[in-house]
Structure 1
Amino acid sequence: MIYDVQGALAYCYTGGKAFDAARPTAVFIHGAQNDHSVWILQTRYFAHHGFNVLAVDLPGHGRSKGEAKTSVEQMAAWVLEVLDAAGVKSALMIGHSMGSLIALEASAVAPERVSHLAMLGSTYPMKVSDALLATSREDEQSAIDMVNFFSHSSMAQKPSCPGPGFYTMGGARRLMQRVSQINPAQLFYTDFFACNAYANGQVAAEAVRCPTLFIFGSKDMMTPPRSTKLLTSSIKHGKTVMVDAGHSLMAEQPDAVLDALFAFATKREG
């Protein structure tokens, strides 16, 4: 699906199904230097099992046009305008890493628009080291290599990987390189700066009232589980699921992530 949002074309992957206003909607938000494709298994399953899917490419990423947003607040406002363009009143909001902060901020700004909140590979504050910030600004390819290494728990492919010959580290590296080719304007630095500068996380988390799910990778070196206590304690009703993966948990443990997300999305309250 392509919408006009803030005067530029916004691309949303729908999981291979046409949008149906009668179905509930799940919005998937990617992290830094990524696009909608990081959710490929999870989005296709949701789309073929009763949900509308809107897996966004954030501005300046993937197929969406316009300059990249420079703050989490701006990105959250953009996502809410995507809901407006699609005619969606309320949605399940799912975000990974930077995308989790966007989903959190959207839930604080417009709680009536977020029915459920799922945060993957998340933490708050989401501080980025000075060294990585500098490298992303001065030598983006080196930053891509650094992040790709730290985002995976192992160089060896996991048995749960969907499809023979699928190489998660190589695929993640090539995706980041492709995003750089599409938008060479220091996009990685812009994304990292937004994560590092976001200061509303605790206030936003304390305001969350909707059902909330945290999915963390037990071997995550980018947002390690030990760093998540402020976030999880601020949303006391949130449920936590731990999977055997690094930061790129949707690729390393796709079935475990899907199972947790779909169970959360379809659970009847009460």
Structure 2
Amino acid sequence: MTETPSATDPRVYMVHGQPATARVKGDPAAGDAPVLVLLHGAGLDRRFWRPVFDDAAITTPVIAFDLPGRQGSEGTAFTRISDSAAWIAAALKAAGIRRAVLVGHSMGTLIAMETALLLRGDDAVTVDRLILLAPADVMAVNDALLQQTLNDPAAAQAMMDKWSYGIPDGPHCAEARANAADAPAGVLHADLTACNAFGSALDLAAAIAVPVDVVVGEADKMTRAKQGRALAAAFRHAEVTALDGVGHMMLHEKPEPVLAVLRRAVGVISPVV
């Protein structure tokens, strides 16, 4: 493993024989404290999570990986959620993480759930909790949008931007739009293909025993609040936080209540036996 000295610059880990980049706060490999592992959504990367890294109240270690095909993570973007989960499980071990709280946004919620089951009973890494931002029981993608991500990715991203924000002028929305707009060619299509192919997440949720926090935006047009509630009902131990007037990009539209969920979660870790 090699890494750069700055927390702002990416650290580089070897995952499945290829370099993988991540932004890190604190030391994920030190001590027994749970690490917040941040899993970005479709067409995005580690930059999505800047509000979490900027939050001085979160003192537990934090790491946000770039999935393959973006930023410095080499390889091709996956078209199956199971492949992303296997990659994240390997990345956690490469980073020396022993306890993880998996925080996923949108596509990242599916990856978080798959990773939690993949690591169940694993001797090296324990998943203590899941925090799911803007999840859905089924993350189906409109056929026309999926095709447009191939034919005209910029137009597809512009269309998604129109649907993604309940508070378009939120404090981090301009930055989020800029980051989404420079996704490498093929990444958005691969990610949305993975979401569309996944099908229902209800059986997966029912198999997860650890506590789960589900955060839904009442103005979310991408993964609607009722879909998040349907998913939450399938977990054994889930708590739902609903944000009025907030859309899919909740962390950028109205960060404080989202960050409050993360702060509370790392303060009340109690793995279910």
What TM-score comes out, normalization by structure 2 length? 0.88
In the comparison of the two structures, how many residue pairs are matched? 255
Identity score, percent: 30
Is 1:132 aligned to residue 145 of structure 2?
yes
In the other structure, the counterpart of 2:3 is none
Q: Return closer, same or farther for 1:268/1:13 CA change in 2, 3 Å cut-off.
A: closer
Is 1:173 aligned to residue 182 of structure 2?
no
What SS class does the counterpart of residue 2 from structure 1 fall into? strand
- Alpha-carbon contact 2:39-2:64 (below 8 Å) kept: yes
The 5 Å alignment of 1:135-174 reads 135-155=148-168, 157-158=169-170, 161=171, 168=173, 170-174=174-178
1:6 alignment partner AA: H
**Per-residue deviation, 1:84:** 0.9
In the other structure, the counterpart of 2:215 is 215
In the other structure, the counterpart of 2:66 is 57
Inter-partner Cα distance in structure 1 for 2:67 and 2:263: 23
In the other structure, the counterpart of 2:115 is 106
**Per-residue deviation, 1:230:** 3.4
What SS class does the counterpart of residue 116 from structure 1 fall into? strand
Inter-partner Cα distance in structure 2 for 1:239 and 1:202: 16
In the other structure, the counterpart of 2:268 is 267
**Per-residue deviation, 1:71:** 0.6
- Provide the aligned C-alpha RMSD in A: 1.8
Q: Return closer, same or farther for 1:20/1:190 CA change in 2, 3 Å cut-off.
A: closer
Moved over 6 A (4+): none
Q: What 5-or-longer segments of structure 2 have no aligned partner?
A: 1-10
The 5 Å alignment of 1:209-248 reads 209-244=209-244, 245-248=246-249
What SS class does the counterpart of residue 14 from structure 1 fall into? strand
- Alpha-carbon contact 1:43-1:53 (below 8 Å) kept: yes
**Per-residue deviation, 1:89:** 2.3
Q: Residue deviations 1:47-84, cap 9 Å, x none?
A: x6431211111111222111111110000000000111
Is 1:6 aligned to residue 7 of structure 2?
no
What SS class does the counterpart of residue 92 from structure 1 fall into? strand
Q: Residue deviations 1:110-134, cap 9 Å, x none?
A: 2243110011111021000111111
What TM-score comes out, normalization by structure 1 length? 0.89
1:90 alignment partner AA: R
Inter-partner Cα distance in structure 1 for 2:71 and 2:137: 26
What SS class does the counterpart of residue 182 from structure 2 fall into? helix
1:172 alignment partner AA: A
- Alpha-carbon contact 1:24-1:50 (below 8 Å) kept: no
Q: Return closer, same or farther for 1:173/1:50 CA change in 2, 3 Å cut-off.
A: closer
**Partner of residue 26 from structure 1, selected from 36, 48, 55:** 36
Inter-partner Cα distance in structure 2 for 1:67 and 1:227: 30
What SS class does the counterpart of residue 215 from structure 1 fall into? strand
Q: Residue deviations 1:135-175, cap 9 Å, x none?
A: 111110011001111000143x24xx2xxxx5x1x322321
